[in-house]
A = this chain, B = another copy of it.
Amino acid sequence: MPKVGMEPLRRKALIDATVSAIGARGSLDVTMSEIAGRAGVSSALAHHYFGAKDELLQATMRHLLAELNWDTRQALAAAQSARERVSAVIAVNFSENQFQPETIAAWLAFYVEAQKSAALRRLLRVYARRLHSNLMSGLAGLLPRPTADQAAEAIAALIDGLYIRRALRNGTPNATGAIAIVEDYVEAKLGTAAPATIRNRLSGDQS
């Protein structure tokens, strides 16, 4: 079997296997054998390409982050207004690609692991900063500065909160419901602080 040029393929397969293993187990303490098995290789190979388990986990998280970033850039590019940019960022986080049980479990697990690992903590901070700045790229045009900043913080917290609750299959099950909650917040926020013409652009209101 040994063909040349396997490395990138194996790396990709191992990273994908890591996400699915974490998703299946629901936590980060998956074994290297489990991951390697899912990728169809031996655990020794996983060590060969990634060294320590830690590095595989970091690479996996970087991959998740890169995918989210890619999706976000696509969505932002298609947005035509500040208001649409906000919705685009929200929508991406609950899109098919992102709002998958496997992916959610992985994010959650990484959040916990980040308390132990400085490297993962750094990566999560990158995520938080990006999310904030992506949200601000829309909000800055809709609300005065300090208010916009707080709104971005709230939206970010909402997104994280809805993720964590989804992991438990508590209320707020589907992506549609989650988006509705966040969009409703945005509307409420714009309704109290911005000209009325901006209100009620997307969904029907309930006043």
Please list the residues of chain A having a beta carbon within 8 angstroms of any beta carbon in chain B.
25-29, 105, 108-109, 111-116, 121, 124-125, 128, 132, 144, 146-147, 150, 153-154, 156-162, 164-165, 167-168, 170-172, 180-181, 184-185, 187-189, 191-193, 199, 205-207
Q: Is the CB of B154 within 8 A of A158?
A: yes
Interface residue from B105, B160, B188 paired with A188 (Cβ < 8 Å): B188
Using known A-B contacts A160-B165, A188-B185, determine if residue A112 contacts B116 with beta carbons closer than 8 Å.
no
Chain B, residue nearest A101 (CB): B115
Q: Is the CB of A116 within 8 A of B25?
A: yes
Q: Is the CB of B153 within 8 A of A181?
A: yes
Most interface-central of A125, A161, A167 (chain B CB within 10 A): A161
Q: Which chain B residues border A164 with CB–CB below 8 Å?
A: 111, 160-161, 164
